[in-house]
Chain A
């Protein structure tokens, strides 16, 4: 199952939209409602604050094989609280995702191996417990996919991924 999802993620039909929206109550609801109402398929939606406290930034990833990204863009743009939308898919962009992964450890040897894997992916172990460790990994989705793939054999207990955030270069 995980592998299927990883395969799907390699699909180049993903479009990344960056929307600047007014930081007002209910705006996330308006965006989510639009997606549901127009039957747009979104893969991930990440929201956060920006340098301007009155503005929030949304990074929306769309499966363009099922949804016309240009229509999403135009419909988003119609929302009164949306200040700007940009499809950054084909622009030089830094794309990141953060994931926390809890992996089962049954003995000290495993713990050592997992530490090595974490190092190879330039990620960190942020929590160590008797029967598990937690890894924090940052990077493009493929990197997160890869480490998940490698860790699968040890038994992944829990995963959380933030979804993609993006910023154009320069």
Chain B
């Protein structure tokens, strides 16, 4: 017989391995002008960046915590180190990355994925990017894929033109925090007409306890270009709170296409307060595929601004809230241009007292005539302890639109469980199969390897019930 603890270890250790908290530099805990200036000094960055940081800090101090959503009392900025530089410089060959850090990414399957089906990879460890690489043929086509610090140095004009123009520093308190202490992240520029066949992937690993990760991802897909970008995140579990407040800014130009896929799998002590937004020009399209796993609290609402006429967006998301988890996720869309269209499909699973909330905003502006928006959300509760809510805000400001919203929340069907069990499946297997089926519309949108990964995460979350 296996003991309970043994099973728990087995279930989590794929992501939950800790390396020693061994860093080259870790800033004092807390948040102050001195700390922000010190981060800037450590990063040796131009003064315009520091100016933004300081303005963001001021904004942060002025803004209040959100009055809605999960309770964030546990977040004490004075207990969080906002900058941790790993003992590694950025490299473009895995063999040059220090062994322990390289092993971390090996365990997460990143170099293997790069060899098999990615066009480029970025890997961040705590606050800095330790590996970044892109296939040569893409370089010769003018594709830029690099870490954010290098982008600031090497492409200052391009970065300045776009940085904080999609997600402004005053959007909300945690984005102000982000801009004050941001570090790492990826920068992507796909030139006009260039269509990438294989995806790029950036992976963010937070190893250091009582610290935060604040990576900034900025992607520009120029006219007629196309890109699939994959983002992955994880962290080992500690007893104290860790914080993730990343920012993703996406610019999708005329006739361009961007697919942004994420599987976030945070440890259960993480506060994940992440901001992602896309601005889509005429005939452009951005599709979001979002899997939110882990974290103690998540507040994550990717947003598409359909600025140009005929622009489109699709959002396919799933979240899994288990014991002691409050996942507040959803999608926001603003229809600005004419003939714009959005299709939103959101799913949540809650178990063992977990709370999964779908919170959304659909705003259709007066000029966005002949636009279409359809929203479906499904909540699946695996027991009576768990909760699943939908909180939609719909603001339709013109009458020439097709808008539909459908929400379904319910407990896993006892009849379906019985049906599957009558075919020889155990109760656990039956439930797992139903949950995987429920998640299938999302996994179908992911590349095969990531779909497998997501199914594995779902199984891990379900097996947690044994302990």
* A is bound by B: no
- What residues make up the interface of A, taking CB atoms closer than 8 Å to B? none
